[in-house]
Structure 1
Amino acid sequence: MTDTEAHETRAPGPAPVHWKLVIDCGNPQTQADFWAAALHYEVEDNNALIERLLELGALPREAVVEFHARLAFRDLVAVRHPEDPVEPDSGTGLGRRLLFQRVPEPKSGKNRLHLDLHPGPDRREDEVARLRGLGASVLREVKEAGGQWVVMADPEGNEFCVQ
């Protein structure tokens, strides 16, 4: 039996779990703008959902801000991969997403989770320069037997690597 035949005869397992990465921050809108530009993602447009929630009285006006000439949640903003599907009634991405949520305390230590960006070794230097232009900073350059990368920080100090 070939691998393909074995795969086709296996009983289907549970569906994969849908997820998003949630990042605590002081200013969700600033973080969303940075990461949308850094990843070439799109800031989600929740304007229609917010308008409905306001009309129903389910959302207080103080929970909303104007962001990119449309209504946005004050404390939550997501960015999504531009090719992934979107739920049309809410503007919420249904695929790869980063959600930035406002928290009162500042970042206080090293990240326990971080993103690795992979532009490729030929493009690393240009990508680092582009990200610096967006507001990131270089923390250190790493050269080890296993490879090399640049450790950077986003505008709020969250570490990420450029491979």
Structure 2
Amino acid sequence: MTETPGSPAAAAQPVHFKIVVDAADPHAQADFWAAALHYEVEDNGAFIDRLLAAGAAPAELTVESHGRRAWRDLIAVRHPEDPYQEDTGTGLGRRLLFQRVPEPKTVKNRIHLDLHPGTDRRAAEVARLEGLGASVVREVSEFGAEWVLMRDPEGNEFCVH
């Protein structure tokens, strides 16, 4: 049976997504978040090399990062246990994509990440994240719950529960 767009069977399938974060320095942000989440920075080097060799992408759109070719203005991190496309290095599961934008962050995030290391590990995790370059904004105790509001190195808010 073939599914047609708009059919109930087609509508019931989950949609793959990634979270995209605007950044002044996408590679530094990817390194921070890969360390913060214990994720891996995606390796798109072989794919980029193929595109360059075929003349499909100009070299000025790339940089050297972690000893391999990477896109200058885009870099992603992915969960190490999730599948990925071997020919491109692109993750197919949980991932964050950092894209360079010219303007600086000026207002509170409309979306943010909540990290859940567990109540017994919260303080150690906050200290570890500070060591990676994050900063504590404040400790929160509301509605019977406690968490720490933090900022990543570019000022994006996130919470540690």
Residue matched to 1:80? 78
Residue matched to 2:4? none
- Counterpart Cα distance in 2 of 1:56 and 1:105: 33
Query: Under a length normalisation based on structure 1, what TM-score does the superposition of the two structures give?
Result: 0.92
Letter of the aligned partner of 1:31 in structure 2?
Q
The reply on whether 1:140 has 2:134 as its aligned counterpart is no
Identity %: 70
- In the alignment, structure 1 segments of 5+ residues that lack a partner are 1-10
| Paired residue secondary structure (1:92) | coil
Residue matched to 2:3? none
- In the alignment, structure 2 segments of 5+ residues that lack a partner are 1-7
Residue matched to 1:14? 12
Match of 1:24 among 14, 22, 25: 22
Residue matched to 1:63? 61
Large movers: runs of 4+ above 3 Å: none
Query: Under a length normalisation based on structure 2, what TM-score does the superposition of the two structures give?
Result: 0.93
Cα displacement (A) at 1:56: 1.1
The reply on whether 1:111 has 2:109 as its aligned counterpart is yes
| Paired residue secondary structure (2:75) | strand
Supply the RMSD in Å over aligned alpha carbons: 1.0
Point out the structure with max Rg over C-alpha. 1
Residue matched to 2:94? 96
| Paired residue secondary structure (1:35) | helix
Residue matched to 2:5? none
Q: How many residues align?
A: 153
- Counterpart Cα distance in 2 of 1:71 and 1:14: 38
